């Protein structure tokens, strides 16, 4: 598509998105989807989720490897905890926590609290402190597709656990743990089109409270082709279409209030918020 035609196409889709959101901001989305400019056109969900969903997974299945009898030539099925991502359904009920995370209630409880923002690049070099209300009212807007990661401020992690304890005490994390690890929460709120480009760390769980978050995942031995200072949105628009099917990541969209995504240790992952999203991760370290 020629550059001019592509620009017109993007503008048309943004306009439609803005019209679709005109009635947003109701109780069902916690008041986070505000009328205004639409989200970038690249924010369509993937057509097929490549991450397995399990609504009946026991802890023993999560951590153990099922070994088939030696007479069978097929290889054993790897456990999830150390080998592959999985989406867990129906493990917890966080409806109370979700209610407390509405825009109105968070601003009432924490509007004057100072939050620390990180830049949305792989290494998150720059930190900026400002009142939570200022972030919500002035910086929580759809991602500019042309912005670099170090120009994009993002509220995720760096939480003051003492100050936010009254909120976190109502969160029920997934009931699965790994031997020798300690759980730590990381809470965030970010605009449509924002996200963190490819990086890796220890294992953890991620749950969306409001909005939708699209995940892209590669196993540790398969380093993705990306620029650490380009946003996930830029990667999706520019690099993703050039990938051969065999080179594409596992991907899936995690919906609000429905499921928790587990990612194993050292798995590469990038995230993309499809809406203004409220989310919480439980890191195991």
Q: Which domain holds residue 179?
A: 53-66+81-284
Closest CA to 108 of 22, 151, 167: 167
> Is 37 among the domain residues?
no
Cross-strand bridge partners of residue 271: 215
pLDDT of residue 17: 45
Rounded CA gap, 7 and 2, in Å? 9
pLDDT exceeds cutoff 90 at 189: yes
pLDDT of residue 18: 39
Sign of the torsion formed by the C-alpha atoms of 9, 10, 11 and 13: positive
Closest CA to 143 of 8, 40, 14: 40
> Is 160 among the domain residues?
yes
Of 8-17, 70-79, 181-190, where does mean pLDDT reach its minimum? Answer: 8-17
Percent of the chain with pLDDT over 70: 80
Of 111-125, 173-187, 188-202, 250-264, where does mean pLDDT reach its minimum? Answer: 111-125
> Is 34 among the domain residues?
no
Cross-strand bridge partners of residue 254: 213
pLDDT exceeds cutoff 90 at 42: no
Read off the pLDDT band of 39 (50, 70, 90): low
> Is 4 among the domain residues?
no
pLDDT of residue 209: 97
> Is 21 among the domain residues?
no
> Is 262 among the domain residues?
yes
> Is 48 among the domain residues?
no
Closest CA to 156 of 108, 201, 96: 201
Of the two residues 65 and 175, the one the predictor is more confident about is: 175
pLDDT of residue 3: 52
Q: Measure the N-to-C terminal CA separation of the chain; round to a whole number of Å.
A: 46
Q: Which CATH number does the domain housing residue 233 bear?
A: 2.60.120.650
**How many structural domains is the chain composed of?**
1
> Is 175 among the domain residues?
yes
In this predicted model, what pLDDT tens digit does every residue of 59-112 receive, in sequence order? 988 987 555 455 555 555 567 898 999 999 998 999 999 999 999 999 999 999
SS3 240: helix
């Amino acid at each position: 598509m020629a550059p001019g035609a592509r620009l017109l196409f993007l503008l048309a889709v943004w306009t439609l998105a803005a019209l679709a959101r005109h009635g947003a901001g109701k109780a069902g989305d916690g008041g986070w989807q505000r009328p205004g400019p639409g989200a970038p056109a690249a924010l369509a969900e993937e057509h097929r989720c490549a991450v397995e969903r399990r609504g009946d997974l026991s802890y023993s299945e999560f951590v153990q490897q099922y070994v088939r009898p030696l007479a069978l030539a097929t290889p054993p099925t790897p456990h999830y905890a150390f080998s592959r991502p999985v989406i867990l359904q129906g493990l917890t009920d966080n409806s109370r926590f979700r209610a407390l995370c509405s825009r109105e209630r968070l601003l009432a409880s924490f509007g004057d609290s100072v939050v620390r923002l990180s830049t949305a690049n792989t290494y998150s070099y720059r930190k900026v402190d400002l009142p939570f209300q200022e972030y919500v009212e002035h910086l929580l807007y759809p991602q500019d597709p042309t912005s670099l990661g170090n120009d994009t401020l993002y509220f995720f992690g760096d939480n003051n656990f003492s100050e936010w304890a009254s909120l976190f005490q109502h969160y029920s994390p997934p009931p699965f743990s790994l031997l020798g690890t300690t759980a730590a929460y990381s809470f965030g709120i970010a605009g449509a089109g924002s996200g963190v480009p490819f990086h890796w760390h220890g294992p953890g769980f991620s749950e969306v409270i409001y909005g939708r978050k699209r995940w892209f995942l590669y196993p540790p031995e398969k380093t993705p082709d990306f620029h650490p200072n380009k946003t996930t949105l830029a990667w999706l628009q520019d690099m993703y279409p050039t990938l051969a099917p065999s080179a594409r990541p596992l991907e899936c969209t995690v919906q609000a209030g429905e499921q928790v995504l587990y990612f194993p240790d050292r798995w590469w992952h990038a995230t993309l918020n499809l809406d203004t999203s409220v989310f919480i991760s439980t890191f195991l370290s």
